[in-house]
Structure 1
Amino acid sequence: MSTYNLSYCREFLLLILLSLHLLTLPNFPQRRQTLHEFEKYYQKAQEDTLSLQTRIRLLKIAYEALKDAKRDSLTYSRISKIVELSSQLEDSIFFQNAASEGLKLAHVLNNPSLIADAHWNYGSYYLTKKKFDSSYYHYDAAYKLFTAAKKNYYAGKMLYNMAYISSQTNDFTGAEILLFRCIKNFEKAENYKQLYLCYNLLGTNADDMEEYKKALEYYTQADQFIPKFNNSQYYQLELWNNMGVRLHKIGRYAHAISYFDRALFYKETLNSHP
Structure 2
Amino acid sequence: MAIELKDSSNLASSYWDLGSFYVDNEMVDSAYFHYNKASVLYSKIGKDFNSARMLLNMAILQKNVKDYTGSETTTAKAIEIIKPLGEHRQLYIGYNNLGILFNQLGEYDKALLYHKKAMESAQDLSDPILQANTLNNLGVVYENDGKYDKAIEIYRQALAVDSLFQKQTRLYAMLHDNLAYSQMKANPQKEVEPLFMYALNIRDSIHHQAGIVINKLHLSEYYLDRRDTAKAIKFASEAKKLARETRNFRDLLESMLLLSEMDTLRSNQYLSDYIQINDSLQREERAIRNKFARIRFETDEFIARNEYLNKEMKFIYAGSVAVLGVILLVFVNVYQRNRNKQLKLEQDQQISNEEIYNLLLVQQNKLEEGRHREKNRISKELHDGILGKLFGVRFMLESLHDKTDRQSIEAKKKYINDLRMIEEEVRNISHDLESDFFTQKESFLEILSDYLNNQQKAGHFELDFRNDENIEWDKLSSKIKINLFRIVQEAVNNVIKYAGADQIFLSFQKRKDSLEMKIQDNGKGFDITRNTRGIGIKNMKSRVKNLKGAWKISSGSEGTTITVNVPLK
* Equivalent residue letter for 1:225: I
What value does the CA root-mean-square deviation take over the aligned residues?
3.5
User: How is 1:67-106 mapped onto 2 (pairs within 5 angstroms)?
Assistant: 67-71=43-47, 73-89=49-65, 91=67, 94-106=70-82
Percent of pairs identical after alignment?
7
* Equivalent residue letter for 1:185: V
Q: How many angstroms apart in 2 are the aligned matches of 1:125 and 1:93?
A: 9
Pairing partner for 2:183 from 198, 206, 221: 206
Structure with a larger share of its residues in strand: 2
Q: How many angstroms apart in 2 are the aligned matches of 1:148 and 1:122?
A: 19
Change (3 A) 1:245 1:140: same
User: How is 1:159-198 mapped onto 2 (pairs within 5 angstroms)?
Assistant: 159-185=135-161, 187-188=163-164, 190=166, 191-198=168-175
* Equivalent residue letter for 1:168: N
Change (3 A) 1:94 1:266: closer
Q: Indicate conservation of the 8 Å contact 2:128/2:161, yes or no.
A: yes
Q: How many angstroms apart in 2 are the aligned matches of 1:243 and 1:96?
A: 34
Q: How many angstroms apart in 1 are the aligned matches of 2:239 and 2:150?
A: 35
User: How is 1:37-186 mapped onto 2 (pairs within 5 angstroms)?
Assistant: 37-40=15-18, 60-71=36-47, 73-89=49-65, 91=67, 94-185=70-161
1:33 and 2:11 equivalent? yes
Aligned equivalent of 1:222: 199
Aligned equivalent of 1:8: none
Q: Indicate conservation of the 8 Å contact 1:202/1:215, yes or no.
A: no
Q: How far has the Cα of 1:79 moved from its partner?
A: 2.6
Between 156-165 and 235-244, the greater mean CA deviation after superposition: 235-244
Q: How many angstroms apart in 2 are the aligned matches of 1:139 and 1:32?
A: 35
Spell out, residue by residue over 1:57-89, the C-alpha distance to the aligned partner (whole angstroms, 9 max, x if none). 676545423322443654443232122113335
Q: How far has the Cα of 1:225 moved from its partner?
A: 2.5
Corresponding residue pairs, total: 245
Q: How far has the Cα of 1:149 moved from its partner?
A: 0.9
The answer for unaligned runs of 5 or more in structure 1 is 1-24
Change (3 A) 1:37 1:205: closer
Q: Indicate conservation of the 8 Å contact 1:80/1:118, yes or no.
A: yes
Q: Indicate conservation of the 8 Å contact 2:180/2:192, yes or no.
A: yes
Structure number, greater radius of gyration:
2
1:269 and 2:274 equivalent? no
Aligned equivalent of 2:514: none
The answer for unaligned runs of 5 or more in structure 2 is 253-569
* Equivalent residue letter for 2:63: S
Aligned equivalent of 2:230: 257
Q: How many angstroms apart in 1 are the aligned matches of 2:239 and 2:65?
A: 32
TM-score (norm 1): 0.72
Bigger relative contact order, structure 1 or 2, given CA contacts below 8 A and separation 6+? 1
SS at match of 1:213: coil
Q: Indicate conservation of the 8 Å contact 2:136/2:158, yes or no.
A: yes
Spell out, residue by residue over 1:244-265, the C-alpha distance to the aligned partner (whole angstroms, 9 max, x if none). 44234334x3xx6357436646
Change (3 A) 1:46 1:212: same
Q: How many angstroms apart in 2 are the aligned matches of 1:145 and 1:152?
A: 11
Q: How many angstroms apart in 2 are the aligned matches of 1:92 and 1:266?
A: 28
* Equivalent residue letter for 1:261: K
Q: How far has the Cα of 1:154 moved from its partner?
A: 1.3
Q: How many angstroms apart in 1 are the aligned matches of 2:107 and 2:165?
A: 31
